[in-house]
Structure 1
Amino acid sequence: MQLESTLTCPSCGHSATETMPTDACQFFYDCQRCGTRLKPKPGDCCVFCSYGTMPCPPIQIDRKGKR
């Protein structure tokens, strides 16, 4: 399981690598450059699943079990 994901702001394109929580979904993330508050897209559980290079740990586990 990967615990780091690079979030990319859809407003300004700024990218930042963050450590994902393993015990909860992260619903909000404030862009470090422009201050835009990112929220999950419809159907996604968290900002990492919507804007990150890796989905959150619970989704990684779920996908691994469906192989």
Structure 2
Amino acid sequence: MEIILNSIITCPTCGYQKEETMPTDSCQFFYECESCKTVLKPKEGDCCVFCSYGTVKCPPIQEHKSCC
């Protein structure tokens, strides 16, 4: 199984989208939108901002492992 490292994060406040490279060795708990400066945090039940707002889940989840 190939792990995808790029994900497009969509800000729920303003709709701005940006492709980001996900870290492979840690979770990203906070992400600041470049457009409106809203600080995104994971939704309840998600481990990171990529799992909540990205087009691709984080690498540990893709590998069916526990995240962080």
TM-score by length of 2: 0.91
Identity %: 65
Matches within 5 A, 1:25-64: 25-62=27-64
RMSD: 0.9
In structure 2, stretches of 5+ residues that fail to align are: none
**What is the rounded CA distance, in whole Å, between the counterparts of 2:39 and 2:53 in structure 1?**
12
Instruction: Find runs of 4+ consecutive structure 1 residues off by over 2 angstroms.
Output: none
In structure 1, stretches of 5+ residues that fail to align are: none
Number of corresponding residues:
63
Choose between structure 1 and 2: higher helix proportion: 1
TM-score by length of 1: 0.92
Report the secondary structure of 2:29's partner residue.
coil
